[in-house]
Amino acid sequence: MWRSVLGLALAGCAFQAHEAGQPPDGSTTPDGSDGSDGSGATAKRRVTLTFANPRAEALANFAVLVALDATRIDYAACPGGANLRFTDPDGAALSYEIERWDPAGTSIVWVRVPQIDASSTTDFITMHWGDAALTDAQTPAQVWDHAALVYHLAEDPTFGTKDSTGTHAGTATPQMIAADLVDGKLGKAVRFDGMGGGIHAPSMMLPRFTWTMWLRADAAPAGTANHEPITDGDTNFNFAWDHSTPAYVGALAMHDTTMWHAAQGTGFAGATWYLLAGTYDGLQLCLHVDAAAPTCVNAGSPSTPTALFQLADATSNVATFKGILDEVRVYDVARSDLWLDADHASQTDTLITYGTAVPDL
């Protein structure tokens, strides 16, 4: 097993992980070198991944949020994030993606950590920065394990949205305008008007799946017309915020070969952020809300998708959602409860702690 250390370097932008038993400033690598990998980075900071509660599951290839501000990195030494780097305990570079670089506020960076041990309190990686000779080394598509799409929703939605995996870029409905790009839960997000505005991605055939998103609706769920933040065109899959049938209000629903099945959430309010996730593992359809235990129902294999995969509106434009969505992701596997709980901790910046910045000699 390896220990992952997330370390921030305040003068040079590289991130390096170190094994347990090394000096706390990570000044040497296992082979006795100076740990700078020839980059010339001048500062680093350890970031430790700590689970608040004991857990039996290790996390493999987990995308961790590194939220940076002026207390965690020297922005002047890392212009545009170009010389930022992350490494594992053996000094190998880690894949990362900069979603937002904001020297006046909070920068959003995603880093793929090869493994976080079960019940970790000491795993860490190291972040380095400050070498003016380094250029951008992001590899977004390599950050997201088992991802079918990753939408940060951080661009002008008039032109759709980028997919960090590079495979399922979204196109916008004509109703989307530049002003629909708003402040979100993490950086920027997209507001949908409830009048047909939406984002469409290509259809995906996923016999097992997980989707996650931050959602902030204008109003609490109601038993009115169907308003669906995520759907495959309302053909055989959706999550409905509002719905004309009580059992489907605030519910994840899926149609198998015989009927619809719904896992319903409770206690939703308007103008409130929720991290929602829907999973199907081949037997159970589950709705997860923040870090609470999921609501699950038994269901058969989903029918083959026959329409576009859509955010905020259905093909008929009668199932449109009014509110804000952020950080929408779809995976081709059913993530476990513990994985989703760790993802919630990561996206709320409570999974990692930051050590003291030290020279990267």
The correct CATH number of 147-332 out of 2.60.120.200, 2.60.40.1120, 2.40.30.10, 1.10.10.60 is: 2.60.120.200
Reported residue count of the chain is 361
**Could you tell me which residues come within 8 angstroms of residue 282 by beta carbon, excluding any fewer than 6 positions away?**
207, 208, 301, 334
SS3 labels along 59-122:
EEEEEEEEEECCCCCCHHHCHHHCCCEEECCECCECCEEEEECCCCCCEEEEEEEEEECCCCCC
Can you count the helices (H) and strands (E) in the chain?
A: 1, 25
Give me the pLDDT at residue 6, please.
32
Give me the pLDDT at residue 319, please.
82
Give me the pLDDT at residue 148, please.
94
118: its two tokens: 């079960």
Give me the pLDDT at residue 13, please.
42
Q: For the chain, list residues with pLDDT below 70.
A: 1-41, 54, 305-307, 316-317
Q: Which of 203, 210, 198 is nearest to 167 (CA)?
A: 203
Which helix (DSSP H) or strand (DSSP E) does residue 347 occupy? helix 337-347
Give me the pLDDT at residue 307, please.
66
Give me the pLDDT at residue 5, please.
32
- Asked if residue 98 lies in contact with residue 13, where contact means CB atoms within 8 angstroms, the answer is no
Give me the pLDDT at residue 338, please.
92
Each residue of 196-218: pLDDT tens digit?
999 999 888 888 999 999 999 99
Each residue of 25-70: pLDDT tens digit?
333 332 222 333 444 458 999 999 988 776 788 999 999 999 999 9
The residues facing 105 across adjacent strands are none
Q: Which of 80, 72, 70 is nearest to 46 (CA)?
A: 72
Give me the pLDDT at residue 305, please.
63
pTM above 0.85, yes or no: yes
Phi, psi of 17 (to 5 degrees): -100, 150
271: its two tokens: 């103008």
Give me the pLDDT at residue 306, please.
59
So where are the chain's domains? 5-144+344-359, 147-332
